[in-house]
Amino acid sequence: MNFRVITQMFIEVQMFIEVPSDGLELYRISKEFIEYYNNKRPHESLDYISPTNYYKIAA
């Protein structure tokens, strides 16, 4: 399974299937996804490096 499929599955589960009960829950889900997207998910356009690691290498 490639990273795009995993990412899409995560988005669907966290943002659409898991309906937040309130604004705080929506914030938690969004923050968790942004953390994953920026710090853990390898990006194809960045040679399969996370944006955070790519920035550290470039800086």
Tens digits of per-residue pLDDT, 1-59? 566 777 677 766 666 666 788 999 888 888 888 888 889 888 888 998 999 999 999 88
Tens digits of per-residue pLDDT, 23-34? 998 888 888 888
CA distance readout (Å), 19 to 15, 45, 58, 59: 7, 31, 38, 39
Q: Where are the domains of the chain?
A: 3-58
By the 8 A CB rule, do 11 and 33 touch?
Answer: yes
Residues forming a β-bridge with 43: 49
What pLDDT score does 24 carry? 94
By the 8 A CB rule, do 29 and 15 touch?
Answer: yes
